[in-house]
Amino acid sequence: MNHESILNLEVSKPVRRYDFDSLKVIGTFAVFIFHCLRFFDLGVWHVKNNELNAIASISAIILLQWIMPLFFVLSGAIWGDLGG
């Protein structure tokens, strides 16, 4: 490689993935809903409502299984898209 070819290297800008942005927004909203459900589920939590609900428990368990893995997958996918 000569000096002119080194100076003329083009750097490509990464393309923004709006589908990942949408999944991050949905995931963040799911975290908010999860923490709101914790007031009403049957599990141990530092603040509880007087009326507890089994549906809130089931919903919280389902969200708990998918929230963090979603963020890890999105982080890995974005890192892979950036060439990391």
Residue 47: what pLDDT? 93
Alpha-carbon gap, residue 17 to 23, rounded angstroms:
10
Q: To 10 degrees, the CA torsion angle through 12, 16, 20, 24?
A: 120
Contact status, residue 52 vs residue 40, Cβ threshold 8 Å: yes
Nearest to 37 by CA among 26, 22, 48, 28: 48
Q: Report the share of the chain in percent with pLDDT over 90.
A: 55
pLDDT digits (tens, 9 = 90+) for 53-62: 999 999 999 9
Number of domains, the chain: 1
Q: Is residue 6 domain-resident?
A: no
- In this prediction, residue 84 has a pLDDT band, given cuts at 50, 70 and 90, of low
Question: Does the residue 11 lie in any domain?
Answer: no
Q: Is there a domain that residue 3 lies in?
A: no
Structure tokens at 51: 């009326």
**Amino acid in the structure at residue 83:** G
Q: pLDDT tens digit string along 46-55?
A: 999 999 999 9
